[in-house]
Amino acid sequence: MVNNLEKKSPVLFIIGLLCLLSPESRAQDEVHMKVRSEGLRRIVLAVSPFQPSRQTDLGDQLRRIIINDLELSGFFQIVDLSDSENKDLLNLRSISRPGNWDLNAAVLLENNFELRGGTISLNSRLQELPTYQQIFEKDFNSSLRTIRQLGHRVADEVTYYLTGDPGIANTKIAFVTVGKTAKEIAVADYDGYGVQPITSNGSLNLSPCWAPDGKFIAFTSYLRGNPDLYVLRLSDGRTVNASKQNVLHSAPAWSPDGKKIAMTLSKNGNSDIYTMEVKGERIRRLTNNPSIDSSPSWSPNGRGIVFTSGRSGTPQIYIMDSDGGSVRRLTFEGSYNASPVWSPRGDLIAFVSRESGRFQIYTIDVNGENLYPVTDSPGNHENPSWSPNGMWLTFASNGEGKWDIYVVHWDGTELRRLTHNGGNVSPSWSPQLKHKE
Amino acid sequence: MRNYFILAVVVGIAGLIVFSGCGSEATRIPEESLESLLLDEQAGAETVEETVTTEPVREQPIREPVREERVAEVEDVSFVDVNFDFDEYELTAAAREVLAEHARQLKDNLKILLLIEGHCDERGTIEYNLALGDRRADAVKTYLINYGIDPERLYSISYGKEKPLVPQQTEDAWAKNRRAAFSVVEK
């Protein structure tokens, strides 16, 4: 197999080697530590006990959901004022306080909570400290049944108001649950609650991928014996087989404008990347290469696709235009780089890289610089997926003994485990799901 | 095309065997277009006040052809796995010897159809391994065709790393999982 890359590869190898040896790559560790020690610049957010002060179980539950969401957003340092250690903090006049937080830069969140019949009413207010000037107020209503979503809504509204970021409390993560003979797709809230199966066909179901409007999930299923492309509508579970050919369909990726699905089709043993128009189902071939081309992921502006290709001899990450032109290689270190996903912010690609026989998660700039290790822990880490605000990555890992879903900040901090029962793989983070006003 | 029809018949037979014991009503998935699914969507108002909970649709479970059932139907034939080197889809010399024997059995039993499954060990990503498994199945299929077997008798499928033969994480287990496996059907 002769191609241009083979001729260039000695040069690339030397460049790669120089990159490994250069001070640049050692500086990665220093940058990593600097970010860790500075921490994120967090807004100090004090949260009052719910009024009325008589704490009902429900009020307490709602409050804890909101506090958890605000902490998990990554933007805030939460001071829980119902904590006995903290409850007199607002009354202290002295400058120095436990934890060294500056009262002058803090915000106070107060909520009035009322439960009438089956309906919760919540009035939420933000006040700047130390002036107590009110800067935000909103009323929320919810049935008891959707109390978790109410908490998520409040947390995201507070996050949006204070930071401009829409937050992630309203989002969900789809993933594959591995049973004895079947693999089914399930969806959980971003905090791990409310796991719901969305397929139950007793077959192998793989690689879930959300539509950009959050209403559909595309996936591969062996439901009819052949690995076909399916699209499921979440509101009622109705599913359509979108495959037009008797070939292997895998790794679907919905375009940001919702109009196309990119995927890998394997014909006669040759896997290439194709796009299919959602309306009309017209198929267009993007790569035409005897090696394996797989795992497409779109840039947020829809003009580029990052993918895995074996064309240089080992699996590496490549970028091309969304019409298949201008293919360029992105990764030159490591012998197996795969599963690339383009950050919704447009600037970073996350992917997995095999290192000492195990897969770790890395990010790299779109221009190929600043290779950055996100994980560096035991076991394998696979199938990264970005949160819609580009701040977090979810992935599957067996590092603690079982395959489970994890979430980590893109800089490698704030690692948290989402599932605990094992047999959970292939996560896909939803887009923003909340009702836009 | 014909291979797909034959497979559908095979799967249908397997399905009938499975369903004879089932009491549940089987709902067919309509063969409709993607566009109709998208256009027909309900305007689900996802406000906090009215949240729709999703009920999974009980789809008709269709099992893939079960290898043990298949072999029992046809007497005196045995199609053992062929194995592959790590990250490779080319046939080893040992694999070619085994396949020569498989070709002989196919020529001696003209009623047999053969399903070739491509598999990978657990290392590597799910998606890349699906493609690699497909390459392995196709390499076997091509070899048998070159040996004179009618392509209409051969069907290939990839399972990537999704259906390992053995669960251990040892070199020996991985070597066993890197395989092309076979199911036979009598015409």
ipTM summary value: 0.85
Residue A67 in 3-state DSSP?
helix
Question: Of B35, B49, B87, which has the smallest distance from its Cβ to A280's Cβ?
Answer: B35
Proportion of chain A above pLDDT 70, given as a percent: 85
Question: Of B3, B41, B138, which has the smallest distance from its Cβ to A268's Cβ?
Answer: B138
Which residue of chain A comes nearest to B122, CA vs CA?
Answer: A380
Q: Closest Cα of chain A to B110: distance in Å?
A: 24
Confidence of residue A90 (pLDDT cuts 50, 70, 90): low
> The tokens 């062996």 sit on which residue?
A222
The answer, yes or no, to whether residue A427 has pLDDT greater than 70, is: yes
User: A226–B4: do the CB atoms touch at under 8 Å?
Assistant: yes
What is the mean predicted confidence (pLDDT) over A41-67? 82
Question: Of A236, A308, A435, which has the smallest distance from its Cβ to B47's Cβ?
Answer: A435
User: B46–A239: do the CB atoms touch at under 8 Å?
Assistant: no
User: A295–B46: do the CB atoms touch at under 8 Å?
Assistant: no
Which residue of chain B comes nearest to A195, CA vs CA?
Answer: B54
What's the distance, CA B94 to chain centroid? 23
Question: Of B3, B62, B65, which has the smallest distance from its Cβ to A203's Cβ?
Answer: B62
Confidence of residue A318 (pLDDT cuts 50, 70, 90): very high
User: Picking from A95-104, A193-202, A254-263, B157-166, which range would have the lowest pLDDT averaged per residue?
Assistant: A95-104
Question: Of B33, B56, B124, which has the smallest distance from its Cβ to A197's Cβ?
Answer: B56
Q: Closest Cα of chain A to B132: distance in Å?
A: 7
User: A266–B130: do the CB atoms touch at under 8 Å?
Assistant: yes
Q: Closest Cα of chain B to A127: distance in Å?
A: 24
Residue A9: what residue type?
Answer: S
Residues of A in contact with B65 (CB under 8 A): 225
Residue B4 in 3-state DSSP?
helix
- Phi and psi at B146, nearest 5°, equal -65, -20
- For testing contact with chain B, the best of A143, A183, A219, A248 (most B CBs within 10 A): A248
Q: Closest Cα of chain A to B105: distance in Å?
A: 24
User: A183–B162: do the CB atoms touch at under 8 Å?
Assistant: yes
CB pairs under 8 A between A and B: 194
Q: What is the DSSP string of A2-28?
A: --HHHHHHHHHHHHHHHHHHSHHHHHH
- The model's pLDDT over B8-65, given as tens digits with 9 standing for 90+, comes to 555 555 545 444 444 333 344 455 788 888 877 554 433 333 333 333 444 444 344 4
Q: Under a CB-based contact definition with an 8 Å cutoff, are residues A278 and A258 in contact?
A: yes
CA–CA separation, A413 and A334 (whole Å): 23
Residues forming a β-bridge with A355: A358
Q: Closest Cα of chain A to B176: distance in Å?
A: 18
Residues of B in contact with A336 (CB under 8 A): 124
Question: Of B4, B34, B128, which has the smallest distance from its Cβ to A278's Cβ?
Answer: B34
CA–CA separation, A333 and A314 (whole Å): 11
Query: Which DSSP letter does residue B170 get?
Result: S
CA–CA separation, B41 and A260 (whole Å): 18
Q: What is the DSSP string of A136-171?
A: EEEEEEEEGGGHHHHHHHHHHHHHHHHHS---STT-
- For testing contact with chain A, the best of B47, B48, B116, B183 (most A CBs within 10 A): B48
CA–CA separation, B92 and B94 (whole Å): 5
User: B125–A268: do the CB atoms touch at under 8 Å?
Assistant: no
- Phi and psi at A14, nearest 5°, equal -65, -40
Neighbour-count burial of A317, counting CB atoms closer than 10 A to its CB (0-12 exposed, 13-18 middle, 19+ buried) = buried
Angle between helices A147-163 and A57-73 (to 10 degrees): 40
- The model's pLDDT over A333-370, given as tens digits with 9 standing for 90+, comes to 999 999 999 999 999 999 999 999 999 999 999 999 99
Omega of the bond prior to A130 within 30 degrees of 0, cis?
yes
The answer, yes or no, to whether residue A161 has pLDDT greater than 60, is: yes
Proportion of chain A above pLDDT 90, given as a percent: 72
Residues of B in contact with A295 (CB under 8 A): 125, 127-128
Confidence of residue A84 (pLDDT cuts 50, 70, 90): confident
Residue A321: what residue type?
Answer: D
Provide Rg for chain B, Cα atoms.
20
- Phi and psi at A384, nearest 5°, equal -65, 155
- For testing contact with chain A, the best of B87, B117, B125 (most A CBs within 10 A): B125
Residue B131 in 3-state DSSP?
helix
CA–CA separation, A421 and A179 (whole Å): 11
Of A252, A315, A385, the C-alpha closest to B128 is: A315
Confidence of residue A36 (pLDDT cuts 50, 70, 90): very low
Dmax of chain A from CA atoms?
76
Q: What is the CATH number of domain A172-429?
A: 2.120.10.30
Residue B28: what residue type?
Answer: R
Residues of A in contact with B8 (CB under 8 A): 224-225
Question: Of A196, A226, A294, which has the smallest distance from its Cβ to B128's Cβ?
Answer: A294
Confidence of residue A34 (pLDDT cuts 50, 70, 90): very low
Q: Under a CB-based contact definition with an 8 Å cutoff, are residues A58 and A120 in contact?
A: yes
CA–CA separation, A267 and A292 (whole Å): 11
Q: Under a CB-based contact definition with an 8 Å cutoff, are residues B148 and B103 in contact?
A: yes
The answer, yes or no, to whether residue A138 has pLDDT greater than 50, is: yes
Q: Under a CB-based contact definition with an 8 Å cutoff, are residues A179 and A186 in contact?
A: no
Q: Closest Cα of chain B to A203: distance in Å?
A: 7
Give residue limits of the domains in chain A.
10-163, 172-429
Other C-beta atoms within 10 Å of A137: how many? 11
CA–CA separation, A272 and A435 (whole Å): 37
Which residue of chain B comes nearest to A141, CA vs CA?
Answer: B49
Residues of A in contact with B138 (CB under 8 A): 268-270
User: B37–A202: do the CB atoms touch at under 8 Å?
Assistant: no
- The model's pLDDT over B135-186, given as tens digits with 9 standing for 90+, comes to 999 999 999 999 999 999 999 999 999 999 999 999 999 999 999 999 997 7
CATH fold group of domain A10-163 = Rossmann fold (3.40.50)
- Phi and psi at B180, nearest 5°, equal -105, 125
Q: Closest Cα of chain A to B36: distance in Å?
A: 9
User: A201–B61: do the CB atoms touch at under 8 Å?
Assistant: yes
Which positions ≥6 away from B24 have C-beta within 8 Å? Answer: B58
Which residue of chain B comes nearest to A214, CA vs CA?
Answer: B46
Which residue of chain A comes nearest to B134, CA vs CA?
Answer: A269
